[in-house]
Amino acid sequence: MSEKKQFRAIKGTRDILPPDSALWNWFERKARDTFEAYGFRDVRTPIFEDTDLFARSVGTDTDIVSKEMFSFPDHSLWKLEGQRTQLLLRRPSLQDPLTVHVFRAYVDEFIVGADIALKEGDIPKTPDNERALEIIRTYSDRLVAHFMPTATPLDDPTLQLITQSIQQAAAALILGDIISLRPESTASVCRAYIEHGMHTLPGNVKLYYAGPMFRRERPQKGRYRQFYQMGAEVLGPSDAPGIDAEVIEMLMVLFRRVGLEKITLYLNSIGCKECRPKYVELLRAQLRNVKDQLGADSQRRIETNPLRVLDSKLPQDQPTIETLPRISDHLCEDCRTHFARLKEEFALRNITYEENWRLVRGLDYYTRTTFEVTAAGLGSQNAVCGGGRYDGLVELLGGPPTKGIGFAIGTDRAILSIQESGKSPHLPGLAVFVAWMGPKAYQAAVAIARKLRDCGLIVELPAEEMKFKKSLGLADKLGAKYALINGEDEVASGTYTLKRLANANQQKLAEPELLEYLESERRGA
Ligand code: HAM
């Protein structure tokens, strides 16, 4: 007997099933309504992009780019890739002449495959690729020449040179771009902003998005490899603190609307390209003095990204971190003023927050304002939203000088927190189960089910005839509020029997009264 494979969702991914999916839809609707009320409009960018886009914006030294991206070459030349792997694995030696002949055969095969792919445009026709193929051909010819009857026999140094040259050139041949599943969307939104010349649009461009993101993290509660974000970005000429404040106000309004109560907003300013480098150097110098007191990760980060040391959760690091210089004491005049005005804006809007000088965020593109929101019920992964200003990112990606600010909510975590609070909203369920018996009743049932659905009610109509007892049992199990009974009596009298399942109260109604009654019920629900 052949063993059947049990397919399961890939590690770190999951299915979102009913009834949870209804809560997700409700949350996303609330977010869309809130964002749209603030003038944001939906943007849908692709799920994968050029890997370099994320490397340049999020930063090559960040955890996200250095170890968490799902990246793959954008080509389907698997055969050629396989031939290249074989070629790179060969170690031809004159001690064993057969290995030299095998190597030659692999080189020939690779040249033929690469030539065809290049001609057919399956691999990029760049000068680098053409040069790489030329090198492979030249050295392959040199190898073959040694096997001519009159040629000087091959010696070891020559074989080494030929092998190395061919292998290096083969490795350098670019078969296609490396692309990555998006680990976040800010970079994609900036790319789209530049690509579509959106800087020419009037005022600030306000965009929001919703969708899956991918990071190869260690899965745990609230942390997945495919997770969902709802985010918003403001791009344009102005960096007025009122923009930062309005974006954060919108976020807090949404959290209030969805009943996320036990939340804390943390705020910081991490300076700009004028003042931050000086602070980072000061921090690095100070960290070098206390290096021995820190854990291995922090020690490594002193050189690669000292700001990230402030992110450390390691208990051993905490007393040392408390003694380090704080960015707030080292902001330039402009950044200090920006931060002070932001706080005035918060006062104007009654936004409460906690200042946290250690909030540096794990992505490289931030300047000035950074913020995070934590929520209850999430354990260690309690950040439900992160965001900040990223003036200069558009320019870094080849666009015009542009200011930017935004955030992304971790939808999985927001939903989890709502569920843990026990205050999930009561969402409309099955309103009417149409129980029918007999062909005439079925005809009427089909018609009335459509009318009720047109009124916005959720209606279930069994496709096969059932005894009323069975129908009512199923209606009950499905959680229907009403059963609409339609049998021979009802057909004869042109009425319907409407039974409220919770208390078994029932009434006979003609179609107009029935529609009116259920319609008013729906409005009241
Ligand atoms: P982020 O802090 O990397 O920022 O992610 C934002 C939120 O996404 C986090 O606070 C968290 O709720 C959620 N999140 C991140 N990783 C995971 C995961 N593995 N599983 C579940 N949820 C996760 C950004 O992505 C920036 N693009 C935000 C931004 C927009 N900044 C400016 N504009």
Q: Which of 6-10, 153-157, 221-225, 228-232 has the lowest mean pLDDT?
A: 153-157
Q: Is 386 in the pocket of ligand 1 (CB under 6 A)?
A: yes
Q: Are residues 269 and 379 in the same domain?
A: yes
**Token pair recorded at residue 180:** 């990555």
% residues pLDDT > 90 (the chain): 86
- Residue 385: the pLDDT is 98
Domain that holds residue 133: 76-175
- Does residue 7 fall inside a structural domain? no
User: What is the mean pLDDT of the segment spanning 336-363?
Assistant: 96
User: What is the mean pLDDT of the segment spanning 138-156?
Assistant: 89
- Does residue 314 fall inside a structural domain? no
- If you average pLDDT over each of 107-121, 300-314, 344-358, which comes out highest? 344-358
Q: Are residues 212 and 339 in the same domain?
A: yes
Q: Would you give the distance in Å from CA 53 to the centre of its chain?
A: 15
Place of tokens 């015009």: 400
Q: Is 229 in the pocket of ligand 1 (CB under 6 A)?
A: yes
User: What is the mean pLDDT of the segment spanning 327-342?
Assistant: 97
- Burial (CB < 10 A; 0-12, 13-18, 19+), residue 330, is middle
Query: Which residue among 142, 175, 208 closes a domain?
Result: 175
- Does residue 444 fall inside a structural domain? yes
Q: Is 227 in the pocket of ligand 1 (CB under 6 A)?
A: yes
Ligand 1 pocket, mutate which of 413, 415, 416 (most atoms under 8 A from CB): 413
Residues near 149 by Cβ (< 8 Å), separated by ≥ 6? none
- Residue 523: the pLDDT is 84
Ligand 1 pocket, mutate which of 27, 213, 234 (most atoms under 8 A from CB): 213
Query: Which residue among 421, 455, 472 closes a domain?
Result: 421
Q: Are residues 382 and 241 in the same domain?
A: yes
CA distance 81 to 171: 10
Atom of ligand 1 nearest to the CA of 383: 10
> CB of 501 within 8 A of CB of 480?
yes
What is the per-residue pLDDT across 59-71, written as a single tens digit (0 to 9) for each? 988 899 999 999 9
- Does residue 468 fall inside a structural domain? yes
User: What is the mean pLDDT of the segment spanning 218-226?
Assistant: 96
Number of domains in the chain: 3
Beta pairing partners, 213: 227
Instruction: Give residue 525's pLDDT band: very low, low, confident or very high (50, 70, 90).
Output: low
Q: Are residues 412 and 472 in the same domain?
A: no
CA distance 186 to 355: 24
Q: CA torsion, points 436, 440, 444, 447, in degrees to nearest 10?
A: 110
Q: Does residue 368 surpass a pLDDT of 90? A: yes
Q: Are residues 158 and 196 in the same domain?
A: no
- Does residue 56 fall inside a structural domain? yes
Residue with CA closest to ligand 1 atom 31: 387
Q: Are residues 367 and 438 in the same domain?
A: no
Ligand 1 pocket, mutate which of 62, 65, 184 (most atoms under 8 A from CB): 184
Q: Are residues 64 and 88 in the same domain?
A: no
What is the per-residue pLDDT across 70-113, written as a single tens digit (0 to 9) for each? 999 888 888 899 999 999 999 999 999 999 999 999 999 999 99
Distance from Cα 101 to the centre of ligand 1, integer Å: 54
Q: Are residues 114 and 205 in the same domain?
A: no
Residue with CA closest to ligand 1 atom 17: 223
Q: Are residues 265 and 384 in the same domain?
A: yes
Q: Are residues 340 and 193 in the same domain?
A: yes
User: What is the mean pLDDT of the segment spanning 453-472?
Assistant: 96
Q: Is 338 in the pocket of ligand 1 (CB under 6 A)?
A: no
What is the per-residue pLDDT across 174-215, written as a single tens digit (0 to 9) for each? 888 889 999 999 999 999 999 999 999 999 999 999 999 999
**H-helix segments, 274-400:** 276-289, 296-304, 318-322, 333-348, 393-396
Residue with CA closest to ligand 1 atom 8: 410
- Residue 521: the pLDDT is 85
Q: Are residues 271 and 404 in the same domain?
A: yes
> CB of 417 within 8 A of CB of 385?
no
Residue type, 64: I
Mean pLDDT of the residues in the chain = 94
User: What is the mean pLDDT of the segment spanning 323-344?
Assistant: 97
% residues pLDDT > 70 (the chain): 99
CA distance 302 to 319: 17
- Residue 1: the pLDDT is 53
**What's the order of all strands across the beta sheet hosting 41-42?**
41-42, 205-214, 226-236, 403-410, 383-389, 367-375, 263-269, 354-355
Measuring CA to CA, which residue among 518, 509, 433 is closest to residue 470?
433
Q: Is 413 in the pocket of ligand 1 (CB under 6 A)?
A: yes
- Residue 429: the pLDDT is 93
